[in-house]
Structure 1
Amino acid sequence: MKEVLLKIENLSKTFGENVVLKDINLEVKPGEIVGLVGENGAGKSTLMKCIFGMPVILETGGFGGKIYFDGNEANFKSPFDALAAGIGMVHQEFSLIPGFKASENVVLNRESTVKSFLEGFFGSRIKAIDKKHVESRANDALSTLGVDIDVNTVVTEMPVAHKQFTEIAREIERENTKLLVLDEPTAVLTEEEAKMLLDTMKALSKKGIAMLFITHRLDEIMSVCDKVVVLRDGTLINSAATQDTNVNQVTEWMIGRKIENSSAVKEVKEQAVETIISIKNLWVDMPGESVKNLSLDIKKGEILGLGGMAGQGKIGIANGIMGLYDAKGKVEFKGEEIKLNDPADPLKKGLFFVSEDRKGVGLLLESSIEDNIAYPAIQIKGEFFKKRFGIFNLVDTDAVRENAKEYVEKLEIRCTSEKQKAQELSGGNQQKVCLAKAFTMNPEVLFVSEPTRGIDVGAKKLVLDTLKRYNREKGTTIIITSSEIEELRSVCDRIAIITEGKVEGILPPTADVLEFGKMMMGVKEAKDD
C-alpha cells in the first residue's frame, strides 16, 4: 500500500484577476479521513473541483501546481477521468436521475447485463439489464451504509436523507473507489442519520478508502477525522491531527481574526422591549438558503444581525418575508399579520428590502440613478407626483432629481450625474443607490442583505456608517444579513446565528468571537453559553 494516495503540490487557481487558491500543499493517505473547513469563499469547493476535474476549471485556464493520485500525476480533463482513476464525489446538490429507482442510480453506467437472443443480430449493445443482480448490488451498497432503503423506490418519492445515502452508495459501489470527496454530506441529515453516516465513514476508512470531508460542523470533524485542514482566503492556514487540536483552536484558525481593539465592536444599547416583528414557524423554499420552522422576535428600533455559514438559511429569511420566495408560517408586524407570498403587502405596511442580488432584484439597470432611487416611492407610496392643469397627476421630475442629488451627496455616489445609468456604476456605487432607494421609502423596518458584498473597504465603511446613522436618527428597525461576523459585530445590537434553517442562538456583539464561530459550526455546547 502506498504511503500517500493524494498529493497536492503548490496548487493555485485564479478566475480572471481573482486568486481563489494560493500554493496549496496537502497529502492524504489511504484510509485517512481528512476534514476540510473554512469560512464562505475560503476556496474549499474550488479545491475539490480541481481534484475532481470539473469542467469549470479547464474552461477557465486550468490550475497551477501539480496533483498526484495513486502514484501518478493527475490532470483530469473531466469527472469521468477522476472516476476511472478511483475518485468518487458526493456533491452538495444531488446528481441523481429523478425518474430512476434507487437501484438504477446506484449502478448507473455500470449495470449488470444478461445475454439476449437479439445480441447475435445487433451485437453487445442489445444486452439486457439483469434487474435482479442490479437490485442485489444496490442492496449490498446501501446495507454497507447501515440504512434500510427499498431499492425500487423512485428518487422523486424519496425523503432527502435517502437521496443522500443513495448518492454515497453509488460511489462506494464502484469497485475501484480509493478516495471519496464528501461535500457537506450531513447537512440534510437528522442527528441520528448523521451519526449513522459518520459510523459508515469509519468503516469505509478501515477498508482503505480515503475521504476528504467538507462540513461546517466541527463536532463531526473532531469525532470522525484523522486530520483537519483549514483554508482561509484561498490559503492553507493549518493542518493538524485532530487529536492534537480542539474546536476552539480550529475555529480561531478558520476565522483568523481577533478583535484587537474593542472600538471595532458596537456597544450594546439599552435593550428594546417592544416587539415590532414576530416570526413564528417560518418556512421558506429558497434554493440553497431554505428556512425551516424558524421563530424569532425583532425589537423595535434595534439593528439585528443575521449571520451564519453559506447555505444555512440566513439569506432566505428576508426573501421569504418580503414575498420573493414561497413561504409559510406566521409573520406579524406591529400585531398585524403580513400576507406571505404577496410582495405588495409588506411594502404597503412599511417594510422594505435591499436584496443581496442588486443586479437581478435591486436595480433597474437600464434606468438612471434618479429614476432608480425614486421608483419604489412613486409606485408604492404615490410620491413625487404633481398636478398639471388641476387634473393630471404627472411625475415631478424636478423633485425626483433633487432627491437623487441629495443622496448622491450624502452617500458619496461616484457618478457623472444623477442621470447616469445604474449599470454603468461600480458595485459599491450600485449598492449605495439601493440604499438611497430604501431611505427614500422611509420604511419602519428595513431588511438589508449582504450590504457590503463585493465592494471596497472605503465603500464598506460608508455603507455601514450610513445604516447606523439612519437607525439612530430615524429610529428605523434594521435587520442586516451578512456573511461577515466582524461586520455584524460593528453595527448590530444583537446577532442571531442561523444554522440549518433555524436560529442556533442569539449573541450580543460583545460576545467572544469564538462563541460566534461555534454557533456557526453547530457546536452543541454553544447553545448553553
Structure 2
Amino acid sequence: MQDILLEAKNVGKSFDGNTVLKDVNFKLGKGKILGLVGENGAGKSTLMNIIFGMSVIDETGGYDGEIILDGEKINFKNPIDALNAGVGMVHQEFNLIPGFTVAENITLNMEETKKNVISQVLGKKYEIIDEKANITISGNSLDTLGVDIDSNEYVSEMPVGHKQFIEIAREITRKDVKLIIMDEPTAVLTETEADILISALRKLASMGISIIFISHRLREILNVCDDIIVLRDGVVVENKPSKEMDLDEVARLMVGRDNEERKKEVHEEKVIDSNDIIIDVENLWVDMPGEQVVDVSFKVAKGEIFGIAGLAGQGKLGIPNGILGTYPVGGKVTFKGEDLKLGDTLKILEKGIAFVSEDRRGVGLLLEEPIYWNIAFNAMQVQNKYLKKILGINFRDEGKMREVADEYIESLAIKTTGSDQKAQNLSGGNQQKVCLAKAFAMDPELLFVSEPTRGIDVGAKELVLNSLKKTNREDDTTIVMVSSELEELRSICDRIAVICEGKIAGILSPKDSPEKFGLLMSGESIEGGYN
C-alpha cells in the first residue's frame, strides 16, 4: 500500500437528482501516469473536481464514497486545501493573468522575496519580490518541461500552446507537489508540442510525481499512461494497464459501439458551382496575438465546406476572428457581391453570417445564463427572433426560446439537466454543442466555425461533424471550418487551405496525401493543388 498515492473507493455524485458518478474505484501509484478517458458528460470533470476540492462539489451536497491520499482520507473543501496537500490541476480553460509576465504567472503566490530595512523591523510580509530569483525559478520549471519560453514576456502576447506549458510549469513549481491532474493539456498543442509534453510527463513521473492525464487523443493515452480508466455514463467500464489495450478497444468502450460504426459516414463528393462565389477574401491581414494573418486571399463557393488547416501560431485562427471583428483587421472581404464592413461585427451578423469561436468560454457563451438564453441570444439580438409584442413593445418570448433550445438539446445530444441549466455548469464538450446550436439558431447562409471539436471526445466529435454536414446539406449553409485536426477536415471538407506564416501555402483536395499537407504546413512548396 505504501506505493499507492491516491485511491478512490465507491465514489458517487449527483446533481439535482441526476447521477453523474456511481461507485467509482481506482488506485494510482506514486510516480505513475493514469489515463482517464470517456465521452463528454461521462463524469471525468466531476471526478476531478471532487479530487481537487472544487467548491461546486461541497456546495451541491458533497459526494459519496472516499478519496484517500497518501494513506489518509481527504475531503478538500476548496482548491487551496488541495494545493496545500500537494495536489495541482491544469484546467482545460486557462487560468493565467494576461497582463503578467511568464515568470509572474508561474510563481504567483509562491514568489521568492528578499529582506529590506522595513521588513527587518516590521516582519516578512514587508519583504519585496525578488524578480531575478523568480525568473530563475520559472526558467527552471520551463526547462524541466523542455520548452523554450522567455520568462520575461507577457502572457497576453503568447500563442495558446505556450500558455498551456506555462500552466503546467506553474504546477510543478509548487513545493512538495505529489499529484498533478491534467485536463486535456494537449488539446491546444501542435503535434511537436504534444510530443514535448509527453516527454515531460514521463520525466515528471520519473521524479516521483503522479499524474492523472485526461485526453481525447487516444494515441497519447496509450502511449504515455501506465493504466487507463474508461468512464461511460458515470461508471468505470474498464480499468487496466495500457499495454493490454488498443485504440479500437478504448474507442469502443468509451462510446459503447464499434469503431467501424462511427466511420460509416465519410466525406461525400457533391457538385459545386465554382463560379457561384459566396465569399471572396482578398489580401486579408489580422493582428491577432500569436495567430497573425499577413496576407490571405481565397474564394468559397456557395454550398461548399471550405477547410483551413495549419500549425498553431501560423494564422488559421486569425482569419475568422478578423473577419468577424474580434481583432484589428484589414483587406477586402466580399459577401454575395457586397463589401463587408470589416470590424463591424453586428453588421456582419445581420448579413446572414454566423461564427462559432474557438474560445467558447471567453467569446462563445454567456456562462452565468441558462442554456436556452445562450442558444437564442444572437438570433434574438440580431434577427429579432423569439420576441413577442405586448402593447407594441417587444418582449422576450421565453416559451419559444426554451422550445428551440430543447430541439437542439435533443438533436445535438447535449447532456444537461434541462434548458434552464447554466452554461458554466456544462462539460466542455457540451458547452461546444451549445455554441453550435447558438449559430444554427440564426439559420446562417455562411457559417465560420473555429476548432469545433477541440477538447471533446470521439463520440461528440462525430455528432458535431455530422451536424455540420447536415446543416450544409439540408439547409444549404456554406461553411468555413478552421481546425487543428487534419483528419477531421479531410472527412468533411470539399477543399482545404493550408496556412503557414500568415499566408496560404496552398489549397488541396481532401483526397490529397497527408504528406502533401505536411509539406505545406512546414512551408515547403508542392506541385498540384488548386484554388
Q: Is this a same-fold pair by TM over 0.5?
A: yes
Q: The TM-score by the shorter chain falls in which range?
A: 0.5 to 0.7
Q: Which residue of 1 aligns with 2:484?
A: 500
For 1:162 and 1:508, how far apart are their aligned partners in 2? 29
For 1:124 and 1:479, how far apart are their aligned partners in 2? 54
Cα gap change, 1:25 to 1:339, in 2 (>3 Å): farther
Asked whether the 8 Å contact 1:422–1:430 carries over to 2, the reply is: no
Cα gap change, 1:253 to 1:359, in 2 (>3 Å): same
Cα gap change, 1:488 to 1:6, in 2 (>3 Å): same
Cα gap change, 1:139 to 1:478, in 2 (>3 Å): closer
Of residues 471, 482, 485, the one that matches 2:462 is 485
Q: Which residue of 1 aligns with 2:210?
A: 210
Q: Which residue of 1 aligns with 2:352?
A: 351
Q: 1:107-135 CA distances to partner (integer Å, 9 max, x unpaired)?
A: 33333344433345313322344444434
> Residues 279-290 of structure 1: matches in 2 within 5 Å?
none
The TM-score normalised by the length of structure 2 is: 0.63
User: How far apart are 1:82 and its partner, in Å?
Assistant: 0.6
User: How far apart are 1:179 and its partner, in Å?
Assistant: 0.7
Q: Which residue of 2 aligns with 1:71?
A: 71
* More displaced 10-residue stretch of structure 1: 53-62 or 199-208: 53-62
Cα gap change, 1:455 to 1:337, in 2 (>3 Å): farther
Q: Which residue of 2 aligns with 1:422?
A: 397
Cα gap change, 1:117 to 1:10, in 2 (>3 Å): same
For 2:185 and 2:261, how far apart are their aligned partners in 1? 38
User: How far apart are 1:78 and its partner, in Å?
Assistant: 1.0
Q: Which residue of 2 aligns with 1:380?
A: none
Asked whether the 8 Å contact 2:355–2:448 carries over to 1, the reply is: no
For 2:293 and 2:226, how far apart are their aligned partners in 1? 32
Q: Which residue of 2 aligns with 1:181?
A: 181
For 2:410 and 2:28, how far apart are their aligned partners in 1? 36
Q: Which residue of 2 aligns with 1:3?
A: 3
> Residues 261-340 of structure 1: matches in 2 within 5 Å?
271-274=271-274, 277=278, 300=302, 323=324, 333=335, 338-340=340-342
User: How far apart are 1:71 and its partner, in Å?
Assistant: 0.9
For 1:121 and 1:8, how far apart are their aligned partners in 2? 49
For 1:91 and 1:455, how far apart are their aligned partners in 2? 20
Q: Which amino acid aligns with 2:379?
A: G
The TM-score normalised by the length of structure 1 is: 0.64
For 1:192 and 1:131, how far apart are their aligned partners in 2? 31
For 2:260 and 2:131, how far apart are their aligned partners in 1? 65
Q: Which residue of 1 aligns with 2:233?
A: 233
Q: 1:1-41 CA distances to partner (integer Å, 9 max, x unpaired)?
A: 82321111222222223333233222211111122223333
Q: Which amino acid aligns with 2:142?
A: L
Q: Which residue of 1 aligns with 2:500?
A: none
Cα gap change, 1:498 to 1:67, in 2 (>3 Å): farther
Q: Which amino acid aligns with 2:398?
A: Q
User: How far apart are 1:173 and its partner, in Å?
Assistant: 2.1
Cα gap change, 1:283 to 1:205, in 2 (>3 Å): farther
For 1:184 and 1:26, how far apart are their aligned partners in 2? 20
User: How far apart are 1:85 and its partner, in Å?
Assistant: 1.1
User: How far apart are 1:177 and its partner, in Å?
Assistant: 0.8
SS for the counterpart of 1:6 is strand
Pair 1:126-2:110 in alignment:
no
SS for the counterpart of 1:118 is helix
Number of positions where the alignment pairs a residue of Structure 1 with one of Structure 2: 429
Cα gap change, 1:321 to 1:259, in 2 (>3 Å): farther
Q: Which residue of 2 aligns with 1:517?
A: none
Cα gap change, 1:142 to 1:178, in 2 (>3 Å): same
Q: Which amino acid aligns with 1:215?
A: S
Asked whether the 8 Å contact 2:380–2:387 carries over to 1, the reply is: no
Q: Structure 1 unaligned runs (5+)?
A: 307-315, 373-394, 398-418, 435-448, 510-523
Q: Which residue of 2 aligns with 1:15?
A: 15
Pair 1:360-2:377 in alignment:
yes
For 1:92 and 1:43, how far apart are their aligned partners in 2? 15
* More displaced 10-residue stretch of structure 1: 57-66 or 79-88: 57-66
For 2:179 and 2:65, how far apart are their aligned partners in 1? 20
Asked whether the 8 Å contact 1:320–1:341 carries over to 2, the reply is: no
Aligned alpha-carbon RMSD (Å): 5.1
Q: Which residue of 1 aligns with 2:153?
A: 153
> Residues 339-488 of structure 1: matches in 2 within 5 Å?
339-343=341-345, 351=352, 357-363=374-380, 371=388, 422-424=397-399, 427-429=402-404, 452=412, 483=460, 485-486=462-463
For 1:212 and 1:15, how far apart are their aligned partners in 2? 24
Q: 1:185-243 CA distances to partner (integer Å, 9 max, x unpaired)?
A: 22333332222221111111111111111222222222211222222333333233222
Cα gap change, 1:291 to 1:16, in 2 (>3 Å): farther
For 1:8 and 1:285, how far apart are their aligned partners in 2? 48
Q: Which residue of 2 aligns with 1:388?
A: none
Asked whether the 8 Å contact 1:115–1:128 carries over to 2, the reply is: yes
Asked whether the 8 Å contact 1:277–1:331 carries over to 2, the reply is: no
For 1:11 and 1:129, how far apart are their aligned partners in 2? 42
User: How far apart are 1:51 and its partner, in Å?
Assistant: 0.9
Cα gap change, 1:48 to 1:156, in 2 (>3 Å): same
Q: Which amino acid aligns with 2:170?
A: R
Cα gap change, 1:499 to 1:130, in 2 (>3 Å): same
Cα gap change, 1:497 to 1:50, in 2 (>3 Å): farther
Asked whether the 8 Å contact 2:465–2:492 carries over to 1, the reply is: no
For 1:48 and 1:202, how far apart are their aligned partners in 2? 21
Asked whether the 8 Å contact 2:266–2:491 carries over to 1, the reply is: no
For 1:158 and 1:22, how far apart are their aligned partners in 2? 40
SS for the counterpart of 2:4 is coil
User: How far apart are 1:87 and its partner, in Å?
Assistant: 0.7
User: How far apart are 1:317 and its partner, in Å?
Assistant: 11
Q: Which residue of 1 aligns with 2:361?
A: none
For 1:333 and 1:368, how far apart are their aligned partners in 2? 23
Q: Which amino acid aligns with 2:491?
A: L
For 1:5 and 1:24, how far apart are their aligned partners in 2? 17
SS for the counterpart of 1:428 is helix
* More displaced 10-residue stretch of structure 1: 55-64 or 494-503: 494-503
Pair 1:243-2:249 in alignment:
no
Cα gap change, 1:326 to 1:248, in 2 (>3 Å): farther
Asked whether the 8 Å contact 1:106–1:173 carries over to 2, the reply is: yes
User: How far apart are 1:106 and its partner, in Å?
Assistant: 2.9
SS for the counterpart of 2:76 is coil
For 2:11 and 2:33, how far apart are their aligned partners in 1? 20
Asked whether the 8 Å contact 1:291–1:501 carries over to 2, the reply is: no
Asked whether the 8 Å contact 2:43–2:234 carries over to 1, the reply is: yes
For 1:330 and 1:503, how far apart are their aligned partners in 2? 30
Pair 1:80-2:80 in alignment:
yes
Asked whether the 8 Å contact 1:495–1:506 carries over to 2, the reply is: no
Q: Which residue of 1 aligns with 2:25?
A: 25
User: How far apart are 1:284 and its partner, in Å?
Assistant: 9.9
For 1:42 and 1:295, how far apart are their aligned partners in 2? 42
Instruction: From the CA coordinates, give the structure whose radius of gyration is larger.
Output: 1
For 1:20 and 1:344, how far apart are their aligned partners in 2? 39
Asked whether the 8 Å contact 1:488–1:495 carries over to 2, the reply is: no
* More displaced 10-residue stretch of structure 1: 327-336 or 203-212: 327-336
